Structure 1
């Protein structure tokens, strides 16, 4: 199926996310009657939407904008001027960003690279640090909001992000670039494309290194990226092959835990009552050097072989065989020494950990008495897949396609010691299924460069837990299309069987028991779950300027691995059920030579959802836990508008506005467990680890329900351009906090609403031509120009207290306690209770890039 044609290119300038530079480039391309996007990206099995044809809400970004605008931002942030998209830096570590579309997080957004799914097969997660190098090799990025046009049975509840990388036969040429930025940021890059030879061979190569620190303290990082592609197509032949391998080995110190607003203020060295946005609670100094307790290290190379066979003028077969060998994990701390956990060693002046005291305490203790060490949770995997799609043109109006999607995944999950912090060893007593295990071996938190997977740690050196996850996936899909001069319509459906097996290496067959006394085995056997979806849509081109479209879809989605085996036990959940998603959308588009606009209306309902919230910190007596929530029902609906106006060659204006109404429907249940032992942990003030969540009409949080942006680009002279972007974020609510919705009164107060904010970015580009093929480009970016202080997300929903929240004590009445609370300015920040655990957004940051194309 032909994926993108010239009408797509001429219309893509209407997208609010497209830079003016790119818009002009597209116009120039169309005028010169150049060939389309298929010459510069890998397409194959990817489902790319066509303007005024595919009836979905879509935005497309090309390589030029990514190169210009991204700088030292996180890769998903390039989408922040797209309607209904909210991307943040998460904790602020390198590659720790988060993406939400229409209020759905990235676990439920299908991220595809050249048509291959990259969401983790166990939990749907997307770890952008593993894909940080994609920004260097992406030639186009398309966001389809809603269920999208992909024929696969993928997790596209909120949308689909199609990332298309450069093809091996990109035209001959190369680039060398160097970028510098705030906090010692340095990035160097080299890339070269041979172009296609007379015999049909072509290749492309890229290598880059990025290092420095992020805006937050204690967030040093170093990452590499390599990309190699080789392609072959015999002149006049019907077969085309392309092999690609890409990977991004990296390590980075993290800021994993959201910090209370009070601590941001407390640990501000200026002591002026304002928050220290750079404060990070997850590090300290060892021998005068930065030492993080939370270090992420990973290498996830992906190899693929694409085969495109033009069987005839009417038939084509697209196939991709791919494999990935991910190795790495993330560190944390475990254990106690002298009855003290890690937080007991925090310096109350700087807010950092005092490792000198930890070393001293560990050396004075013995493993049997207890020590405090840094461990790593390994999350490695082997993943193989095959997608094949047969496409046939029946006649001028009808087409059909059918194919298969098969995958196999084996994940390795266990803990090892990465630093004994002065201790002689660590005696692991946490797991009730095995006897205490003394470990003295240390595994360095370093990513392996082996693209075929490094070694798996010795079983005897594992602590805490050791379990594997095995997933088998069999899918089939089909689609019928009808097109004429006015109408394009499609009906598509897919089915899939997912089989899950949990293997716990610490369980003794026929002996180990669950929390409820059930006998467990090392292997659970495969649990098969069947799912399907069906979608249909129609687009009607009223004339050359106006078009309307609509689509509808229903999806029965299998739950994730941790919903099948809850609370990390080898027991299949008794109330296991598919999640049900129903989506509908209407859209209108306007196209003219200077002004273009799109309007979309959508409604998505999501029932029987399961959600696990991890990293719930300091629940009781400093313990860290996780909450399992079941029976969540959500409704997401809204309106999206984006427009572009090319006033003349000197000025272009882009804008967008989106507003949503996202809320929970009915109530749900929740259960609380401790991280280190997986044992039930009672909710505060309760004698049970289970509770009802009163959520009916409560707002869905973690993403802004109202966003707007306005961008202008000015080109005063040839090869010089200035761009400025304003972005507004409003109706931003905290993440779902199970601790605050255990009564109807709490539900009536609703989800905590965070303050709105406005951000401004500036950019400048200047091109120096040496000849027709060689030129220099200078680019500068400033993000958050006015250094605005804002809260990007909150993990808690603590409202300002009322008298009723206090209980009389022997020393004070409830009224007296409330008066002391309400009259203390340290308890409040911009209308929020300072006990809320939040992540502040970055302050002013910048990058400058010099590149040479040849």
Structure 2
């Protein structure tokens, strides 16, 4: 994913195991609409995608397609940066079994076992996988203990295909979302303040060993596809996802009243504060159905479809330890429930004219209701009620100039609701709207593929990341007025001789808030046009594959990301320096004559030039009104997530 055009990836642990993130065209993961077999994967409330909850899921995936921009209608929340479509593995003709084992830097290990039956009795197949990943992480104590499984059964005949599958992941990761300041990046980049225990003088004397995130997520899907006639096919799918988990924190000198406890007396002393261990829980259910009818009659195609989904998430917190027996444990000190209903219906049509022109249109109506009721973690009452209706039209025209060249132009509108954090941490957030205009050219022959895209994405009330985080490391966003992203994306693939393939890509962009304001030192200051946060103006990637022999392959991957700001004010303290990294991959295959069909040895040499870089961070500000009672002074600060220098992962695959 990291080497796709205009894509930037991030990781908290510094090596890509555990919590990771992706940005496309400067838009964060909450704007990338992800589906797995057409089923929405983005979390309904946070709108994020937490791949840490599905460790090693890629081992059960056959195809991944990333479409930048709004794209055509799919199920799930609206795409403001891209759409990512994931399809699980298909059915091989013959049975196959695999064992994959890897080990590398920072005590990183991976083991998985896979089996696919192939076609059984002409109509059946089944597949299974079990995986285990462990890592200490580059950042101190940023450990990951990840387990997952995947099970699938299929029935098919000439006209009908039924697929039933379940997959699940369990993650226990030590928290590493706090980051470090600029001085620590230089002097002690692996330092992790999570779980720090301080003495009376403010010195760290120890770290709480169970400052972890612990979450289990299980998915169930049933897909039924049927060929109604030669030109009409129908599909329906049902899904259910169960998630439950917590993150645990050691807290010092906490006010009892913040947890609903009353002061008490012990040995003649009034106790109003205490050290404690708390857990913040999320217990959620997500279920629904999708359907589609697909009409395909030579030059004319029509798809009619839709979906209805409901999400119920219970958020609550418990105190599980204090040094005082007088404090009752395991009661809920906050408890609130979010309920989200999401329905959409769409029709897509395309028509080919004269074998040269292709016209398509796409109309989608989407309705969202979101309600939150209860008490939040500050013990303030929550009463959020919102109902939104969106109409999202799209259209485009493609012209086939000749067999090697085609041109296209498209327009798409997308509307998107605020996230849970926007409602809770923000001030009456508005839904955002995007109008996406794209112009492209494609050229190909037997030895090359060239793609060029010019895009102009115009926003109204865009919810941009401010750079700040809330208490659980979730980025805080706020509405701005008029903003835009204008860019050029180029990617290519060249076959050079019989042994080399070269795949370069680059993106040049301008990402601007048209009229930014900032509250500074007690006054509202106009900043004019400023860069949007987390939006580098230049991103480039390069892949060079050398097929030394039919069994030996080397791949050189390089990536460059230019400077970017972590704020929307272009504050110098919020600048994230550009970086360049290079990786080298190696693969060698052998085909034994007995027992094993294939043995594959692999090695990933990451950041081979040992670059010291930071791929992500945060920026915050607050007003100091107490140092000088007659003056307001705005204080700024930033945090960073350092990435590992040179590190490696070696592996072997045994195929039976």
- TM-score bucket (shorter structure): 0.7 to 0.9
Q: Indicate the SS of the match to 1:796.
A: strand
CA drift at 1:318: 1.3
Question: In the aligned structure 2, how far is the partner of 1:204 from the partner of 1:792?
Answer: 37
Residue number in structure 2 paired with 1:607: 460
Q: Is the 8 A contact 1:727 1:760 kept in 2?
A: yes
Residue number in structure 1 paired with 2:234: 317
Residue number in structure 1 paired with 2:416: 557
2:221 to 304, 317, 324: 304
Residues 266-306 of structure 1: per-residue CA shift (max 9 Å, x gap): xxxxxxxxx332221114599x9974564111111110000
Asked if residue 481 in structure 1 is aligned to residue 330 in structure 2, the reply is no
Q: Indicate the SS of the match to 1:301.
A: strand
2:434 to 548, 556, 581: 581
CA drift at 1:627: 5.9
Asked if residue 413 in structure 1 is aligned to residue 315 in structure 2, the reply is yes
Change (3 A) 1:170 1:118: farther
Residue number in structure 2 paired with 1:185: 108
CA RMSD, Structure 1 to Structure 2 (Å)? 3.4
Residue number in structure 1 paired with 2:548: 716
Change (3 A) 1:193 1:367: farther
Residue number in structure 2 paired with 1:794: 617
CA drift at 1:496: 1.3
Asked if residue 399 in structure 1 is aligned to residue 307 in structure 2, the reply is no
Residue number in structure 1 paired with 2:202: none
Change (3 A) 1:123 1:532: farther
Residue number in structure 1 paired with 2:340: 471
Residue number in structure 1 paired with 2:164: 243
Residue number in structure 1 paired with 2:137: 214
Q: Is the 8 A contact 2:290 2:308 kept in 1?
A: yes
Change (3 A) 1:513 1:99: closer
Asked if residue 753 in structure 1 is aligned to residue 655 in structure 2, the reply is no
Question: In the aligned structure 2, how far is the partner of 1:256 from the partner of 1:635?
Answer: 29
Question: In the aligned structure 2, how far is the partner of 1:312 from the partner of 1:377?
Answer: 53
Q: Indicate the SS of the match to 2:602.
A: strand
Change (3 A) 1:472 1:311: same
Question: In the aligned structure 1, how far is the partner of 2:206 from the partner of 2:341?
Answer: 45
CA drift at 1:765: 0.6
Q: Indicate the SS of the match to 2:599.
A: strand
1:113-124 matches, cutoff 5 A: 113-124=36-47
Q: TM-score, normalised by structure 2?
A: 0.88
Change (3 A) 1:153 1:164: closer
Change (3 A) 1:764 1:666: same
Residue number in structure 1 paired with 2:404: 545
1:370 to 273, 290, 306: 273
1:95-174 matches, cutoff 5 A: 95-152=18-75, 154-167=77-90, 171-174=94-97
Task: Give the count of matched residue pairs.
Answer: 629
CA drift at 1:206: 0.4
CA drift at 1:705: 2.4
Question: In the aligned structure 1, how far is the partner of 2:465 from the partner of 2:284?
Answer: 21
Change (3 A) 1:786 1:540: same
Question: In the aligned structure 1, how far is the partner of 2:579 from the partner of 2:102?
Answer: 29
Q: Indicate the SS of the match to 1:263.
A: helix
CA drift at 1:612: 7.1
CA drift at 1:150: 3.2
CA drift at 1:475: 1.2
1:226-625 matches, cutoff 5 A: 226-234=149-157, 236=158, 238-265=159-186, 275-283=187-195, 291-292=208-209, 294-336=211-253, 368-393=271-296, 395-420=297-322, 423-424=323-324, 438-441=327-330, 461-463=331-333, 465-484=334-353, 485-504=355-374, 527-563=386-422, 565-567=423-425, 577-610=430-463, 616=469
Change (3 A) 1:604 1:693: farther
Question: In the aligned structure 1, how far is the partner of 2:246 from the partner of 2:299?
Answer: 51
Residues 354-400 of structure 1: per-residue CA shift (max 9 Å, x gap): xxxxxxxxx9999943112232221221000111011113x422121
Question: In the aligned structure 2, how far is the partner of 1:606 from the partner of 1:374?
Answer: 43
Structure 2 portions without partners, runs of 5+? 199-204, 259-265, 629-634
Q: Indicate the SS of the match to 1:644.
A: strand
Question: In the aligned structure 1, how far is the partner of 2:92 from the partner of 2:237?
Answer: 17
Q: Indicate the SS of the match to 1:785.
A: coil
CA drift at 1:128: 2.1
Q: Is the 8 A contact 1:151 1:494 kept in 2?
A: no
Q: Is the 8 A contact 1:530 1:558 kept in 2?
A: no
Q: Is the 8 A contact 2:195 2:249 kept in 1?
A: no
CA drift at 1:91: 5.2
Q: Indicate the SS of the match to 1:665.
A: strand
CA drift at 1:702: 1.9
Residue number in structure 2 paired with 1:840: 642
Q: Is the 8 A contact 2:287 2:310 kept in 1?
A: yes
Change (3 A) 1:780 1:834: farther
Residue number in structure 1 paired with 2:8: 86
1:619-768 matches, cutoff 5 A: 629-667=478-516, 694=526, 696-736=528-568, 741=569, 752-768=574-590
Question: In the aligned structure 2, how far is the partner of 1:220 from the partner of 1:608?
Answer: 39
Q: Is the 8 A contact 1:377 1:416 kept in 2?
A: yes
Question: In the aligned structure 1, how far is the partner of 2:270 from the partner of 2:34?
Answer: 45
Structure 1 portions without partners, runs of 5+? 1-78, 266-274, 342-362, 427-437, 442-460, 515-519, 671-683, 742-746, 799-804, 810-832
Residues 653-712 of structure 1: per-residue CA shift (max 9 Å, x gap): 111111111111224688xxxxxxxxxxxxx965xxxx8574541111224321112221
Residue number in structure 2 paired with 1:345: none
CA drift at 1:492: 0.4
Q: Is the 8 A contact 1:614 1:627 kept in 2?
A: yes
Residues 186-221 of structure 1: per-residue CA shift (max 9 Å, x gap): 111100000111241110000011112111111122
Question: In the aligned structure 1, how far is the partner of 2:270 from the partner of 2:530?
Answer: 48
Q: Indicate the SS of the match to 1:770.
A: coil
CA drift at 1:789: 0.6
CA drift at 1:538: 1.8
Change (3 A) 1:793 1:727: same
Question: In the aligned structure 2, how far is the partner of 1:150 from the partner of 1:257?
Answer: 37
Question: In the aligned structure 2, how far is the partner of 1:365 from the partner of 1:648?
Answer: 87
Q: Indicate the SS of the match to 2:534.
A: coil
CA drift at 1:319: 1.3
Q: Is the 8 A contact 1:480 1:491 kept in 2?
A: yes
Question: In the aligned structure 2, how far is the partner of 1:401 from the partner of 1:374?
Answer: 53
Question: In the aligned structure 1, how far is the partner of 2:111 from the partner of 2:559?
Answer: 30
Q: Is the 8 A contact 1:218 1:283 kept in 2?
A: no
Q: Is the 8 A contact 1:486 1:541 kept in 2?
A: yes
Q: TM-score, normalised by structure 1?
A: 0.68
Q: Is the 8 A contact 1:146 1:158 kept in 2?
A: yes
CA drift at 1:613: 5.9
Q: Is the 8 A contact 1:596 1:644 kept in 2?
A: yes
Residues 228-286 of structure 1: per-residue CA shift (max 9 Å, x gap): 0001013x3x2210001001111011211121111334xxxxxxxxx332221114599
- Structure with greater helix share of residues: 1
Question: In the aligned structure 2, how far is the partner of 1:114 from the partner of 1:365?
Answer: 64
